[in-house]
């Protein structure tokens, strides 16, 4: 069955044959807590005959999401600890996150901001809040890059996006505007002439970081949407989350990285899954991740190698963990933040 609109409720999923009727109550309990959305494009990618389908696993809710472990946290990467005004996260000196919107076209079951996104989430910044966020950026000449994330900033209409870009155009020390998005893959039709014109509105250098986790997401239509962005002059990078049952296999990950490079997207980050609530079934041990990443070396081109990183809980920033993380006392890892601080991290 081809969906003509996004599926947003357990009943939608049951009607589309994506969950079995006897699982409906369990999924309703998940839906009470975390948002659900699958676009028609995502629905069309799901292989219903495969009970382990890696696309379904990313987007179809699972009762396992109601199981939380003691080390999981509502804000696993510590956004709130570095949020001086609503919508801004200022973790590193030369850049800020601008979270203008907390809506996404799809809701990933492993989302690290799952407590903030969705219709019941932190919402969209009001004009006053957006103006305060711009004021914060304007007053700090050290801010060289603004990263629009959320939520997915490309759900905004081209009109609103253009207005935001015009606001950034007025801040001379901001040289780079980066977007984090899943839209070119999950809703490729949004990448049209109006969207591209809006992205150009600031006159700044604009980078687009695409989030995709499995090679089957890189369809012909997704590649065409990305080509539109690259042809318009926006360099593209990738972000992938290493996920049990989705891409925890060097062959799958290698195919994904090659698909990125074929689409003129430079593989950037491979994220170790964060300690978000109810996501234990997606997590693997850092040692398993390191083994997968080492298997990529030598088997696929250097162009295709992502950097394997961990966001240190508590807002301490990213640590590269490809080869440097070591298992310390009590089965924990010890990772270093960019200021030289050492932090313990649990095995799973």
By C-beta, is 97 or 284 nearer to ligand SF4? 97
Catalytic-labelled residue, pool 23, 33, 73, 92: 92
Q: What would the two tokens of residue 81 be?
A: 């600890």
Element (H, E) at 113: none
Instruction: Please say if 108 is a catalytic residue.
Output: yes
By C-beta, is 36 or 162 nearer to ligand SF4? 36
What strands, in cross-sheet order, belong to the sheet with 333-336?
Answer: 326-327, 333-336, 342-345
Cα–Cα distance, 265 to 263 (Å, whole number): 5
Cα–Cα distance, 326 to 164 (Å, whole number): 43
To the nearest 10 degrees (0 to 180), the angle between helices 250-262 and 286-296 is: 50
Instruction: Please say if 175 is a catalytic residue.
Output: no
Q: Which residues pair with 96 in a beta bridge?
A: 146
- Cβ 102 to ligand SF4, closest distance in Å? 8
Site for ligand SF4 in 125-164 (CB under 6 A): 150-152
Instruction: Please say if 311 is a catalytic residue.
Output: yes
Place of tokens 């711009």: 134
Cα–Cα distance, 210 to 197 (Å, whole number): 19
Q: Is 104 in the site for ligand SF4 (CB under 6 A)?
A: yes
To the nearest 10 degrees (0 to 180), the angle between helices 220-231 and 193-200 is: 40
Catalytic-labelled residue, pool 57, 99, 113, 244: 113
Q: Is 272 in the site for ligand SF4 (CB under 6 A)?
A: no
CB 260 within 8 A of CB 267: yes
Q: Is 283 in the site for ligand SF4 (CB under 6 A)?
A: no
304 is in an annotated binding site: no
Near ligand SF4 by CB under 6 A: residue from 77, 111, 199, 286: 111
- Cβ 243 to ligand SF4, closest distance in Å? 11
Region binding ligand SF4 by CB under 6 A among candidate stretches 105-113, 212-220, 296-304, 305-313: 105-113
What does 197-237 look like in DSSP terms, one character per residue?
Answer: HHHHTT-SEEEEEEE--SGGGS-HHHHHHHHHHHHTT--EE
Q: Is 214 in the site for ligand SF4 (CB under 6 A)?
A: no
Neighbour-count burial of 331, counting CB atoms closer than 10 A to its CB (0-12 exposed, 13-18 middle, 19+ buried): exposed
CB 207 within 8 A of CB 176: yes
Cα–Cα distance, 277 to 283 (Å, whole number): 11
Catalytic-labelled residue, pool 62, 79, 107, 111: 111
Region binding ligand SF4 by CB under 6 A among candidate stretches 44-52, 84-92, 107-115, 334-342: 107-115
Near ligand SF4 by CB under 6 A: residue from 19, 101, 117, 210: 117
Near ligand SF4 by CB under 6 A: residue from 57, 91, 113, 271: 113
Site for ligand SF4 in 168-187 (CB under 6 A): 182
Instruction: Please say if 200 is a catalytic residue.
Output: no
By C-beta, is 155 or 199 nearer to ligand SF4? 155
332 is in an annotated binding site: no
| Residue 62 dihedral angles phi and psi, to the nearest 5° | -135, 135
- Cβ 190 to ligand SF4, closest distance in Å? 14
The residues of the shown chain that bind ligand SF4, judged by CB under 6 A, are 104, 107-108, 111, 113, 117, 150-152, 182, 211
Tell me which residues are annotated as active site.
91-92, 95, 104, 108, 111, 113, 274, 311, 318
């Amino acid at each position: 069955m081809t969906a003509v609109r996004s599926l947003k409720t357990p009943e939608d999923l049951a009607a589309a044959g994506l969950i079995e009727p006897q699982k409906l109550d369990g999924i309703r309990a998940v839906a009470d807590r975390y948002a659900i959305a699958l676009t028609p494009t995502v629905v069309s990618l799901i292989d219903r005959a495969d009970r382990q389908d890696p696309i379904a696993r990313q987007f179809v809710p699972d009762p396992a999401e109601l199981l939380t472990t003691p080390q999981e946290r509502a804000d696993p990467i510590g956004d709130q600890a570095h949020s001086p005004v609503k919508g801004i996260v200022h973790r590193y000196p030369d850049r800020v996150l601008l979270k203008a919107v907390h809506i996404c076209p799809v809701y990933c079951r492993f989302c690290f901001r799952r407590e903030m996104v969705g219709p019941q989430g932190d919402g969209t910044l009001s004009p006053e809040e957006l103006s305060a966020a711009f004021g914060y950026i304007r007053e700090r000449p050290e801010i060289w890059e603004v990263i629009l994330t959320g939520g997915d900033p490309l759900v905004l209409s081209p009109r609103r996006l253009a207005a935001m870009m015009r606001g950034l155009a007025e801040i001379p020390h901001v040289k780079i505007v980066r977007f984090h998005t899943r839209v070119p893959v999950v809703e490729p039709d949004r990448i049209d002439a109006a969207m591209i014109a809006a992205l150009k509105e600031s006159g700044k250098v604009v980078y687009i970081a695409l989030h995709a986790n499995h090679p089957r997401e890189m369809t012909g239509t997704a590649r065409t949407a990305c080509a539109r962005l690259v042809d318009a002059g926006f360099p593209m990078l990738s972000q992938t989350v290493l996920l049990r049952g989705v891409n925890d296999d060097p062959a799958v990950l290698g195919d994904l990285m090659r698909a990125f490079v074929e689409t003129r997207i430079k593989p950037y980050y491979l994220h170790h899954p964060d300690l978000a609530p109810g996501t234990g079934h997606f997590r693997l041990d850092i040692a398993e991740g390191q083994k997968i990443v080492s298997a990529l070396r030598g088997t696929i081109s250097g162009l295709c190698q992502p950097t394997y990183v961990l966001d240190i809980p508590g807002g301490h920033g990213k640590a590269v963990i490809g080869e440097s993380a070591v298992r310390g006392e009590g089965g924990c890892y010890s990772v270093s933040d960019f200021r030289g601080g050492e932090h313990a991290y649990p095995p799973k």
